Amino acid sequence: MDEEARKALVLRLFDIGAVKFGTFTLKSGIESPVYVDLRVLVSHPDVLDQVANALLSAVSSVEYDTLCGVPYTALPFATLMSSKTGKPMLMRRKEVKAYGTKKMIEGVITPGQRCLIVEDLVTSGLSVFETVEPLEREQLIVNDVVVLLDRGQGGRKNIETRGKNLRSVLTLAQVLDVLVAAGKVDTVTADRVTAFIRDNQVTVTDKLEAQVLPTKKAKLQRTPFEDRAKLCKNAVGVALFSLMARKKTNLCVAADVVEAKALLDLADAVGPQICVLKTHCDIVRDWTDETGTQLRFLADKHDFLIFEDRKFADIGNTVVQQCSGGVHRIASWAHFTNAHALPGDGIVDGLRTAAGVENHGLLLLAQMSSAGNLLNKEYTSACVEMAKRHTDFVFGFISQERVIEGSEGDAFVYMTPGVKLSQEGDGLGQQYNTPTAVIADRNSDIIIVGRGIYKSDNPAATAAIYRKQAWDALA
Ligand code: S5P
């Protein structure tokens, strides 16, 4: 931005009351001779437009794929910049939704993309990191921050020492120079402001950082899987926790392919990466007893468990037949299966009768990934209570997050479907989260990935990528 444009912008900011001089008590209780309120800009579209142009010219040499404004004041800045450049925008939620998908970042997330942070005002620089953190957790690359006004109180240093480049359109010192030259502010006031800035430098201490950045506050303490194996009461659950600890994987592949050969080939290819292979035997058009036998052979060869995702939902007497009989004879080859809690305890009793607790286990569906599903909080709690009544057989949940806290919850495993590196849905209601979001933010144990892996060009290599992300997210 040239000198004239800068001057014009400063004068307009002063005219509309975005920068004021006098005596103001800040949130911290400190008295300041200057007050900057950039929220008023939304009432002045011409200034907003000037600001967006100025921010864009400040980042003309920066390479980025997407941009994200720090809420709320910088959101309209980012929106205009996105519209002018055609680059997509992401939005960070200030409050995480208490229901539904609990996303921190809205918009289409493409891991590996470079995201530019747009901020209105930098004082300490810490609020920038409240936005950087969730973006980096989603595997976006954040190198650059652009701000309209740097107050000059140490924010630049705080941002740069954390490895980010800061570009600012204006500093408060520049604003003062323009306003003094234009006769809008007298030199006594300008000197007071300069002295204030000098005397109020903000250094970010660990304590301050922990107050501002929530994830620094309470780093999740996870009980190791080998210890959870000792808490679990079902033999298959014990085997699963031990396997995860031994093989160092918390990846389950949903092998939703429709031919037996394709299923076995996929199982053989991803077998080295997974702790669980999840099947839907009723979508395999040429299923025979031999398919089950071969799957068991591959499970032994690669050290994984087989989970038939049958989602039983009938009365006890019927599920006995469905689990042990029919064409699929599920209990003869699957290590564990799952059920809806809807029919009541009889469904658990029926499946226990059909399969036995020695070599089989059961998960309950406590939450689902699909949009508009009817499994509300009360239902989830009722599922949890049901599981606690049957710990000899029920060893975990299909859920979107950990549903039982504390050591009591450590005895159960939490498996989460709806996982993909890119979060676009499938047009049929499926909703996706990234491996990191599921494991690190929602404290789940195992990611279940279907199309993200079996539809990729190289399922074995893709499985290795998901495996690493999910395992690293436990740390
Ligand atoms: O809530 C659920 C529960 C399950 S078990 N949402 C799900 O998507 N699933 C299953 O997980 C679903 O039946 C499918 O086999 C897998 C997800 O597949 P993807 O291709 O969307 O990853």
Sign of CA dihedral 90, 91, 96, 99: negative
State whether residue 86 is helix, strand or coil. Answer: coil
Which residue's CA is minimally distant from atom 9 of ligand 1? 417
In this structure, what DSSP letter does residue 439 have? I
Bond prior to 466 in cis (omega within 30° of 0): no
Report the distance separating Cα 399 and Cα 439, nearest Å. 12
Q: Quick one: tokens of 218?
A: 């309470």
- Whether 254 lines ligand 1, by a CB cut-off of 6 Å, is yes
Distance 451 CA to ligand 1 centre (A): 9
Quote the ligand 1 centre to 350 CA distance (angstroms).
24
Binding residues for substrate: 256, 278, 369, 430, 450-451
The ligand 1 atom nearest the CA atom of 455: 20
Does residue 172 have its Cβ closer than 6 Å to ligand 1?
A: no
Choose one of 369, 434, 444 to mutate for the ligand 1 pocket test, by most ligand atoms within 8 angstroms of C-beta: 369
pLDDT score of 217 = 43
Catalytic residue among 309, 410, 441, 445: 309
Beta carbon of 435 within 6 Å of any ligand 1 atom: no
Q: Exactly one of 184, 311, 349, 468 is catalytic; which is it?
A: 311
Which pLDDT score, from 0 to 100, does residue 95 have? 72
Cα atoms found within 13 Å of the Cα of residue 150, Cβ hemisphere only: 22
Phi, psi of 39 (to 5 degrees): -65, -25
- 157 Cβ contact list (under 8 Å, min separation 6): 125
The answer to whether the CB of 53 is under 6 A from ligand 1 is no
CB 235 within 8 A of CB 458: no
Contact 345, 319 (CB under 8 A): no
Q: What is the pLDDT of residue 263?
A: 98
Answer yes or no: is the C-beta of 369 below 6 A from any ligand 1 atom. Answer: yes
- How many Cβ atoms sit within 10 Å of the Cβ of residue 249? 24
Angle among Cα 37, 39, 40 to the nearest 5 degrees reads 85
In angstroms, the CA 116 to CA 350 distance is: 55
Which among 254, 332, 256, 326 has a CA at the least distance from the CA of 291? Answer: 332
Residue 243 exposure: Cα atoms within 13 Å on the Cβ side:
26
Q: Is residue 199 flagged as an active site residue? A: no
Residue where the block lists tokens 């990846």 = 251
What is the total residue count of the chain? 475
What separation in angstroms does the CA of 148 have from each of 1, 12, 63, 69, 78? 12, 14, 19, 12, 11
pLDDT in the model for residue 161: 87
Between CA 315 and CA 298 the distance in angstroms is 33
DSSP strand E in 349-459: where?
361-365, 394-398, 413-416, 446-449
What is the spatial distance between Cα 110 and Cα 108, in angstroms, rounded to a whole number?
6
Distance from Cα 236 to the centre of ligand 1, integer Å: 21
Q: Is the CB of 401 under 6 A from ligand 1?
A: no
Mutation to probe ligand 1, out of 258, 277, 282, 309 (largest number of atoms < 8 A from CB): 309
Using CA atoms, how far apart are residues 70 and 131, in angstroms rounded to an integer? 6
Q: Which tokens hold the place of 459?
A: 């399922």
pLDDT for residue 127:
85
Give the C-alpha separation, 151 to 225, whole Å: 48
Cβ proximity of 36 and 28 under 8 Å: no
Q: How far is the CA of 254 from the centre of ligand 1 (A)?
A: 7
Q: What per-residue confidence (pLDDT) applies to 316?
A: 97
Q: Is 449 in the pocket of ligand 1 (CB under 6 A)?
A: yes
Annotated active-site residue in 177, 265, 303, 314:
314
C-beta 417 within 6 A of ligand 1? yes
Burial of 72 (0-12, 13-18, 19+ CB in 10 A): exposed
User: What is the phi/psi pair of residue 20, to 5°?
Assistant: -130, 155
DSSP string, 63-105: --SEEEEPTTTTHHHHHHHHHHH---EEEE-SS--SSTT--SE
**Which residue's CA is the closest to the ligand 1 atom numbered 18?**
450
Tell me, in angstroms, the distance from the centre of ligand 1 to residue 450's CA: 7
Per-residue pLDDT of the chain (475 residues; tens, 9 = 90+): 889 999 999 999 999 999 999 999 877 778 899 999 999 999 999 999 999 999 999 999 999 999 999 999 999 999 999 999 999 999 998 876 555 556 789 999 988 899 999 999 999 888 898 899 889 888 899 999 999 999 999 999 989 988 899 999 999 999 999 999 999 999 999 999 999 999 988 877 766 666 666 554 445 689 999 999 999 999 999 999 999 999 999 999 999 999 999 999 999 999 999 999 999 999 999 999 999 999 999 999 999 999 999 999 999 999 999 999 999 999 999 999 999 999 999 999 999 999 999 999 999 999 999 999 999 999 999 999 999 999 999 999 999 999 999 999 999 999 999 999 876 778 888 989 889 989 998 999 999 999 999 999 999 999 999 999 999 999 8
pTM of the predicted model, to two decimals? 0.63
In angstroms, the CA 317 to CA 460 distance is 40
Domains of the chain, with CATH numbers?
Answer: 3-212 (3.40.50.2020), 225-472 (3.20.20.70)
Instruction: Write out pLDDT tens, residues 257-279.
Output: 999 999 999 999 999 999 999 99
Using the mean position of ligand 1's atoms as its centre, give its distance from the Cα of residue 437 in Å: 17
Task: Please name every residue paired with 31 in a beta bridge, in sequence order, or none if there are none.
Answer: 25
- Per the DSSP assignment, residues forming a β-bridge with 299 are none
Q: Look up 309 and say whether it is catalytic.
A: yes
End-to-end Cα, the chain, rounded Å? 45
278 C-alpha to ligand 1 centroid (Å): 10
Residue nearest to ligand 1 atom 7, measured at CA: 417
Rounded to 5 degrees, φ, ψ at 362 are -140, 140
